[in-house]
Structure 1
Amino acid sequence: MTLPVTGTAALFLSVVFGFAFGFLLHRGRVADYNTIVRQFLFQDFTVLKIMMTAIIVGGVGVFLMVQFGYAKFHIKPADLLAVSLGAALFGVGMVLYGYCPGTALAAIGGGSLHALVGAGGMLVGGIVYALTFDWVKATILPVGALGRVQLHTLLGISPWAIFAALAVVALTLFVAVERASAKRA
């Protein structure tokens, strides 16, 4: 059973959820350039904690919505070379810029001028990608193309086992980070 939200209600909800998301990014301090830089310097693990928590909670939430019929999966093709190159490019960009796209928009909303300038780089990158997409499609996407698959199907295990494993990894990381932080203090 799906509940269609369209038109004005969808626009209103997108603004409400967008503001809520931006507020939570600011509240969690991940819209702060220094917090992100300190993550890459292994001095502040706020970003790691928030991302791991978001991945697990979001994954479980989406999976439950699909199970109860409130959403549908739209599985994208698993193109390993493209994903690897994209992840590397994203990582380098995040280190140089000091923001990911979501935190950059939240920082812009909070009045950060350097985040606004850097957003121009994101737009240029998007334009370059669009202009070179035919080449990317012919050259990069076919390498390591697994098709539309999900990790739990590839591994032959329950999605809940993956969520449980992620939760164990996250808790282990959280404990290790807290212990290391306590030793430094």
Structure 2
Amino acid sequence: MTSQLIYGLVTGILFGFFLQRGQVLRYDKQIGALRLMDMTILKFMLTAIFVGCVGIYLLNDLGLAKLSIKSTVLGATIIGGLIFGIGWGLLGYCPGTSMGAIGEGRWDGLWGLLGMVAGAAVYAESYPLMKRTVLTWGNLGKITLPGILGINHWIVVIVFVLAGIGLFYWFEKKNL
């Protein structure tokens, strides 16, 4: 248990370091991403997703980790995504970058922290109602893309990574 906490702390510190070094904590990068004029943040996040995807499936295949697939609930995902997007658009930070901004001494990131705390409180208070409504709308169960397609997960991983590399190349060609 303690080792998991230490791994989590080290991973969080490293991720924060890379957020700062990748300049994705900068307000102009955030706004550039929202305006689809600067793809620095998208490239950073896609890189994290691709590395995480390969790592998780590799660890799972080696028996060092176990996947815990959550149910896909369209209502909750769509509403949560809208709330997330509105908050990001209003603040200019997503939750992770608002914490990084605070770490850099930019106090406007505190609005993001306050929004997260307020959102968690509202979610906790409204959970009983949402459990009967929003959290049931469009419940597709525990699905994965490889499971839907009936193919090995490595085929999907490789296709996504190659598509990502192609997208990165296109971004660089367009100076995005």
TM-score of the two chains, using structure 1 as the length reference: 0.87
CA distance in 2 between counterparts of 1:168 and 1:12 reads 33
Alignment equivalent of 2:7, drawn from 13, 20, 27:
13
In structure 2, C-alpha distance between the alignment counterparts of 1:81 and 1:165, rounded to whole Å: 28
**Structure 2 partner of 1:169:** 163
Determine the C-alpha separation between the residues in 2 that align with 1:167 and 1:10: 28
Equivalent position of 2:17 in the other structure: 23
Q: Which residue of structure 2 lines up, in the alignment, with residue 43 of structure 1?
A: 37
Give the match for residue 3 of structure 1. none
Instruction: For residues 93-152 of structure 1, give each alpha carbon's deviation from its aligned partner in whole angstroms, at most 9, with x where no partner exists.
Output: 212221221121111111110001331012111111111111111011222111222221
Percent of paired sites with the same residue:
39
What is the count of residue pairs matched by the alignment? 176
1:141 partner SS: helix
Secondary structure of 1:44's aligned partner: coil
In the superposition, the TM-score normalised over structure 2's length comes to 0.91
Name 1:98's counterpart in structure 2.
92
Matched letter for residue 26 of structure 1: Q
Residue type matched to 1:145 in 2? N
Over residues 68-93 of structure 1, what are the superposed CA-to-partner deviations in whole Å (9 max), with x where a residue is unaligned? 11111111111122112212221222
Instruction: Tell me the SS of whatever aligns to 1:146.
Output: strand
Unaligned runs of 5+ in 1: 1-5
Once the two structures are TM-superposed, the CA of residue 17 in structure 1 deviates from its matched residue by 2.3
1:137 — aligned with what? 131
Which sits farther off after the overlay, 13-22 or 140-149? Answer: 13-22
- The letter for the 1-side match of 2:47 is T
1:18 aligned partner, one-letter code: G
Does the CA-based 8 Å contact 2:94-2:112 persist in structure 1? no
Rounded Cα–Cα distance in structure 2 between residues aligned with 1:117 and 1:79: 29
RMSD over aligned CA atoms reads 1.6
**How far apart, in 2, do the equivalents of 1:106 and 1:19 lie?**
10
Distance in 2, matches of 1:134 and 1:124, equals: 17
Kindly state the Cα deviation for residue 50 of structure 1 after the two structures are TM-superposed: 1.0
Corresponding residue for 1:81?
Answer: 75
2:99–2:112 Cα contact (<8 Å) kept:
no
Provide the C-alpha distance between the structure 2 equivalents of 1:13 and 1:180, rounded to a whole number of angstroms.
38
Contact 2:91 2:111 in 1 (8 A): no
In structure 2, the gaps of 5 or more residues are none
Give the Cα separation in 2 of the matches to 1:10 and 1:75. 20
Question: d(CA) in 1 for partners of 2:6 and 2:163?
Answer: 37
**Partner residue of 2:52 out of 58, 61, 80:** 58
1:141/1:12 Cα in 2 relative to 1: closer, same or farther (>3 Å)? closer
